[in-house]
Chain A
Amino acid sequence: MKMKKVNIPQEAGIFFVFLVMVLIFSLLSENFFTITNASVLLLNGAIIALIGLGQTFVLLTGGIDLSTGANVAMSGIIATVLMRSGMPWWSAAIGAALCGSMLGVLNGLIIHYIEIPPFIVTFAAMGVASSIPMIITRAESIQITQERFAWIGQGHVLGFPVPVILVIIAAIVSSILLKNTVLGTHIYALGGNKLAARLSGINVMRTTVFVYAFSGFLAGVAGVVATSRLNVGYPQTGTGNQLFYSIAAAVVGGVSLFGGIGTVRGAIAGVLLISTISNGMNVVNVSSYWQPLVIGLIILGGVSFDSKRSSKKDGAKSKPRGKPQILSRIKK
């Protein structure tokens, strides 16, 4: 009798690693597996999750967005400045997120029309976006004038922290966009094979600009959340390890650096894993000298796995029975 083949989701592996890490940290410290620490972990992971989701869209097209961390700093300061100019807190927050999105639009347009590699364009944009808050504030922190702005980063709805709710909304929207819309198919197609995508009539410019704009928008939202959590406009908020962790989270979550492969589910699993390790190492008192080493090894493992998988995929493509992911998606 033939056994029925069980279809295990691609992200199962990373979820398994996540569970193993939770188990290890729980065994090492009784203070790890608690509700308050779960809340701390999710809150601290919110920024990485938001920019990681945007990064996922960009990576799926085969690009990369290095400007997201600086965009967090820029958007946070813009929100602060808009509030000081008299704008209500909620419209300042929306305005800041839209400014973040504008940076993404510029990235996308330059990448498409001038045909400069995304790495270079977004690296330059990182420099620009990190300078803007320094120029505006002359490197000084700015007090937030409207107390209600703190609700975005510190408030709760039905017991859930607002930043976590924003991440859930962003994840649902991202998932719907990628799985249930034509745009999502175009994003995968662009990452799978840009030339084939263009020849099959996909609007490459619109798709490219969209992914960078979306990444910029979520970085803008992250900037608003981070600034609201601090309740002070600080020109270097978000310029720490957040960019590094967000790319790492997406990649270890199965989003390919080479484009065309990955899911929102996987990226969120990656964010959970990176946030758990980052949180757990402080909870169990791992020396800060060791922490980057551990995270680095995990990222190296994820990227190596991705690289191996990609080379296998390329091998499969050359064989007649190979079936590239985009074809299977279009058939569906």
Chain B
Amino acid sequence: MTKVIPGYKKVALILASGALLLGACSSASDTDAAAGDSAAASVREGLPENCSTATPKIGVALPNLSNPYYVEMKKGVETAAAENGFEAIISIADDDIAQQQSQIDSFIQAGVCAVYLNAIGSEPGTGFAVSLSKAGIPVFAVNVFVDMAAVEAAGGSVVQNLGADQAGGGTLSGEQALANLGADAKIIAGIVGVPSNVTTNLRDAAFTAALTKNPNAKVVQTVDHEVKPDVAQKVTAEMLQGNPGMNVIFADIGPGVVGALLAIKQLKLEDKVQLYGFCADKTKIEKPYMGCVGQAPNQYGQLTIAEIKKYISGTDVEKEVLVATPTFNVGDEVPANIIG
């Protein structure tokens, strides 16, 4: 006996089948998107439309590529973006604030999903964060922290500040020098720095403060290496000429360490002058280079992209993430991903 399905039930069955089919298609389509873009699977409300696309765009603002530090950071960002289904739009400002401003404007015009902001300086970074967040784009400040209170006072917001403890790194370098030379040894120190850079100034100030624990220690001069080893070699040699008693040099970025080391060797002062600083790329820690403080820019890049992913998929993230700076002494092997 054939079971007859009433007409209205047929209609209901067809509708139910259609709904199931549509649901399946919809779910298949979601799964496809998730394969390349897990961030778009579930998107926090109020974010730019671009966050809901298959491959959300992340605007990445970096200060320069003359410092190997940012080269490593760029690699980390690119790796993590590919892994997390983002498209990273990387802009390099060549240390020009006006250029970085126009790049930020381009991100706003492009309606990117989020911005990875390594500003050239903290103050300009505050302005950029205000413009971006007012345009509805979440801002993740990396390396150069943005003053959250100032941004909020101007009506903006910053999702997160992430990076190394810059001042902590300077303090550790100062403590390394005191430990090696003696807590009350006579120390005449010079800084090979970048006086126009807020981040390195934090390191320099902390190094100087750390030395004040020793009443016989003082920083007598700071020279500008412009983040270039050839310039660092020149200015360090000149600083050593002007200060024959100098016995400690602190170089606050890797390229500065490279140049300062060459200058010490050029003047044959290896037995007299000790060099400390933020770890230089591909440079062995051996006399007169007595120790360094490391950062992992590649890791910061990857971490931040992971935090962006968490945030846009609805998970709250910490307002501030401070990554510890490991120290290395003579004889230590500096891992390839560690750089100053």
Contact B68 A44 (CB under 8 A): no
The interface residues of chain A lying within 8 Å CB-to-CB of B241 are: 31-32, 34, 36-37, 40, 279, 282-283
Q: A31-B241, A134-B65, A139-B66 are in contact. Are A282 and B229 (CB under 8 A)?
A: no
Interchain pairs with CB closer than 8 A, number: 99
Confirm or deny: B266 has a beta carbon within 8 angstroms of a beta carbon on chain A: yes
Specify which of A29, A34, A139, A234 is in contact with B65 (CB 8 Å cutoff).
A139
User: Least Cβ distance of B329 to chain A in Å?
Assistant: 23
User: Least Cβ distance of A160 to chain B in Å?
Assistant: 15
Q: Annotate A15-43 by CB proximity to B: 1 below 8 A, 0 otherwise.
A: 00000000000000101101011001001
Q: How far is the CA of A238 from the CA of B223 in the complex (A)?
A: 18
Contact A31 B230 (CB under 8 A): no
Q: A143-B282, A239-B228, A240-B226 are in contact. Are A288 and B195 (CB under 8 A)?
A: yes
Specify which of A44, A234, A235, A289 is in contact with B237 (CB 8 Å cutoff).
A44
Q: A44-B237, A140-B71, A154-B266 are in contact. Are A285 and B230 (CB under 8 A)?
A: no
Contact A29 B230 (CB under 8 A): no
Contact B258 A282 (CB under 8 A): no
Confirm or deny: A231 has a beta carbon within 8 angstroms of a beta carbon on chain B: yes
Contact B233 A283 (CB under 8 A): no
User: Least Cβ distance of B320 to chain A in Å?
Assistant: 29
Q: How far is the CA of A29 from the CA of B241 in the complex (A)?
A: 10
Contact B221 A285 (CB under 8 A): yes
Q: Annotate B220-257 by CB proximity to A: 1 below 8 A, 0 otherwise.
A: 11111010111101110111011110000000000100
Contact B282 A240 (CB under 8 A): no
**Closest partner residue, chain B, to A289 (CB atom):** B195
Confirm or deny: A102 has a beta carbon within 8 angstroms of a beta carbon on chain B: no
Q: A139-B71, A282-B235 are in contact. Are A232 and B258 (CB under 8 A)?
A: yes
The interface residues of chain A lying within 8 Å CB-to-CB of B238 are: 37, 40, 44, 278-279, 282-283
The interface residues of chain B lying within 8 Å CB-to-CB of A278 are: 238
User: Least Cβ distance of A271 to chain B in Å?
Assistant: 14
Q: How far is the CA of A236 from the CA of B238 in the complex (A)?
A: 21
Q: How far is the CA of A259 from the CA of B144 in the complex (A)?
A: 47
Q: Annotate A100-142 by CB proximity to B: 1 below 8 A, 0 otherwise.
A: 0000000000000000000000000000000000100011110
Specify which of A31, A230, A241 is in contact with B244 (CB 8 Å cutoff).
A31
**Closest partner residue, chain B, to A235 (CB atom):** B66
Q: How far is the CA of A154 from the CA of B267 in the complex (A)?
A: 11
Contact B223 A141 (CB under 8 A): no
User: Least Cβ distance of A161 to chain B in Å?
Assistant: 10
Confirm or deny: A229 has a beta carbon within 8 angstroms of a beta carbon on chain B: yes
Q: How far is the CA of A36 from the CA of B258 in the complex (A)?
A: 21
Contact A231 B230 (CB under 8 A): no
Q: A230-B258, A240-B226 are in contact. Are A285 and B220 (CB under 8 A)?
A: yes
Confirm or deny: A55 has a beta carbon within 8 angstroms of a beta carbon on chain B: no
User: Least Cβ distance of A39 to chain B in Å?
Assistant: 9
4 closest residue pairs by CB, A with B: A282-B238, A283-B242, A288-B224, A139-B65
* B-binding residues in A (CB < 8 A): 29, 31-32, 34, 36-37, 40, 43-44, 47, 134, 138-141, 143, 154, 226, 229-232, 234-241, 278-279, 282-285, 287-289, 291
Q: List 26 A-B contacts (CB under 8 A).
A: A29-B242, A32-B241, A36-B267, A40-B241, A47-B230, A138-B71, A140-B68, A140-B71, A141-B281, A229-B230, A230-B229, A230-B233, A230-B262, A232-B229, A234-B228, A234-B255, A234-B258, A237-B229, A239-B66, A241-B231, A282-B235, A283-B238, A283-B241, A285-B239, A288-B222, A288-B224
20 more A-B contacts (CB under 8 A) besides A32-B242, A234-B255, A288-B222? A29-B242, A31-B241, A36-B241, A37-B238, A40-B237, A44-B238, A47-B230, A134-B65, A139-B65, A139-B68, A141-B68, A232-B258, A232-B282, A237-B228, A241-B231, A279-B238, A282-B242, A285-B239, A288-B195, A288-B224
